[in-house]
Structure 1
Amino acid sequence: MYLLSMSYVPHSWGLGLKFSAAWTYLLWGIKFTLLFQAKFWCGVNAGYILFFYILENKIALI
């Protein structure tokens, strides 16, 4: 039963797994953040352009 327990796993291998998982999550987090920011700022810019376009058209109509 001792062989099946997690304490039998060599510490270096365990740390390697932990670090690789951390790097994977970190890289995924950076990628997600960059993609989210890109979409967010594109949306904000489109919103501003649309807002001023409508505003200018209303001023022109008046």
Structure 2
Amino acid sequence: MTADAELLTVPEVMAHLKISRTAVYDLIRTRQLASITLGRARRIPAHALTDLITTRLEQEPA
């Protein structure tokens, strides 16, 4: 499995972004952060986290 295909858990995303569980689920709910559900487990592709960060950096005023 390549780094791009790596699947992250919600706690891992929380740690990367230093935000709460609620904030991560809000990003997922508003479709700002892509995720998949495997059974009852929610997983976030690593590339989706990278895309979110890149998009936010591009939106920031210079």
Q: TM-score, with normalisation over the residues of structure 1?
A: 0.33
Bigger RCO of structures 1 and 2 (CA < 8 A, at least 6 apart): 2
Bigger strand share: 2
**TM-score, structure 2 normalization:** 0.33
